Amino acid sequence: MTTPIVLTLNAGSSSLKFGVYDISEAPSQLAVGLVERIGGQPQLKADLGGLDGKVRQELAPEEARDHKSALGTALALLRKRFPHLHAAAVGHRVVHGGPKYTLPVHVTPQVLDELRAFSPFAPIHQPHNISGIEAALEAFPDALQVACFDTAFHRHQPKVNDEFALPREYYDKGVRRYGFHGLSYEYVAGELKRFAPLLYEGRVVIAHLGNGASMCGMLGGRSVASTMGFTALDGLPMGTRTGQIDPGVIFYMVQQEGKTIDEVRDLFYTQSGLLGISGLSNDMRTLEAAGTPEAKEAIDYFVFRARRELGGLAAALGGLDALVFCGGIGENSRYIRQRICEGLDWIGIELDRERNEGNERRINGSFSRTHVLVVPTNEELVIARAAKALLAEETQA
């Protein structure tokens, strides 16, 4: 009997993350991997399971010149390990679902056209997500293609946290706060419900800190407010993105410096954030090790903005019962977690240095009124679960 398989794809601007899941019962990971530097000097990294399953190899440019060829290269590797690989469903991370999509959806030609129409809302991400879907449609024409949206988790926010102070017509056109990283928040919320149900029902801020960074305030497991807005550019400073910025800066750059809108967009998305301030790197690990004044300034700004956003989210929630760190920085940087939590006794946070250094799940002190947790996220598992559920619905229909 053939094992039912779900393939998960997360297509970035120059990367393609993939996973293989057995869905005969609860989804279990069989393999995971990443093709990065697509269109440049590509590299493939994968864990195919077993003692000999670790793969790391440089690729020829033609093996990953675009997402289609990158997927072909990844599938060739997977089929060596799993000769009879056949995906019953392919689950895709799609950054923007617009105001319409609040749940995972079967990707039909009509749905794909609607997702293309949302590209102006997420110009750096959406076109690449769509490229991943198109590549998978060609590679697995008989599989159920499932889109899972980063915006969906936030679509039930109160309207006061959803709208801008613009003429009402713009809200109707879709110009509103969407929030992102929803697949990560959904996973962490599910983990809280599993091992800390009372906290899940309470006032929780999840800090998804990585190259892309945001924070979400939850009440009863539902998003109430988040730091990202109309695009994934707002809120916290990120690896190469500005985070919150006065829109007047755009007017200045266009009117006084003669920059085009495309140049400003590229500056805000790819040359700013930690990289822009430090002049060195978008990688927090590099900045922590560098010790230069510019690197320190970048870290200080990141910490300051995180603390400021935490205070705002706590106000929106009417208090705070738990702060949860996830994402590459949140899960691994003991220093950044310590810096963010310092001096927050006014909000009930007392960090336990030893627990934090030991990277334990609970890192607050014994007398801390507010719980502080580290919960590794798993967006791919959320996608696999959603694909399995939709596959079951389609089969029964």
Residue 112 and residue 227 share a domain: no
Question: Taken in order 61, 63, 67, 70, is the CA torsion positive or negative?
Answer: negative
Residue 14 near residue 37 (C-beta atoms within 8 A): yes
User: What's the structural domain count of the chain?
Assistant: 2
Catalytic residues: 150
**Dihedrals φ, ψ of 23, to 5°?**
-115, 25
Sequence letter at residue 369: R
pLDDT value for 185: 98
Task: Read off the pLDDT of residues 243-270 as tens digits, 9 standing for 90 and up.
Answer: 999 999 999 999 999 999 999 999 999 9
Cα dist. 148→72, 76, 129, 381 in Å?
22, 25, 11, 11
d(CA 133, CA 87): 14
Structure tokens given for 30 = 């069989």
| 51 shares its domain with 192 | no
* Position 50 in a domain: yes
Q: Is 100 helix (H, G, I), strand (E, B) or coil?
A: coil
pLDDT of residue 397: 66
How does pLDDT run across 339-368, given as a tens digit for each residue? 999 999 999 999 999 999 999 999 999 999
For residue 12, what pLDDT is reported? 80
Query: What CA–CA distance (Å, rounded) separates 314 from 347?
Result: 8
Question: How does DSSP assign 128-186, residue by residue?
Answer: HHHHHHHHHHHH-TTSEEEEEESSGGGTTS-GGGT--SS-HHHHHTT-S-----HHHHH
Whether residues 194 and 321 fall in one domain: yes
Indicate whether 247 belongs to any domain.
Answer: no
Same domain? 365 vs 217: yes
Same domain flag for 54 and 130 = yes
Q: Are residues 47 and 139 located together in one domain of the fold?
A: yes
What confidence score (pLDDT) does residue 1 get?
A: 47
Query: In the chain, which stretches have pLDDT less than 70?
Result: 1, 397
**Residue 131 falls inside a structural domain:** yes
Q: Exposure pattern of 261-289 as b/e (b: 16+ CB <10 Å)?
A: eeebbebbbbebbbbbbbeebbbbeebbe
pTM as predicted: 0.94
Q: Domain containing 329 — which CATH number?
A: 3.30.420.40
Owner of token pair 């149900």: 197
Residue the block writes with tokens 């056209």 = 113
* Entry field: residues in the chain: 397
Same structural domain for residues 65 and 211? Answer: no
Residues 101 and 53 in one domain: yes
Do both 211 and 127 map to the same domain?
no
- 215, 341: one domain: yes
> Does 254 reside within a domain?
no
206 falls within a domain:
yes
How many other CB atoms are there within 10 angstroms of residue 208's CB atom? 30
263 found inside a domain: no
| Percent helix / strand / coil, the chain, rounded to 5 | 45, 20, 35
Pair (209, 107) in one structural domain? no
Q: Does residue 102 sit in the same domain as residue 232?
A: no
Assigned domain for 279 exists: no
Range of the domain at 41: 5-149
Decide if 366 is inside a domain. Answer: yes
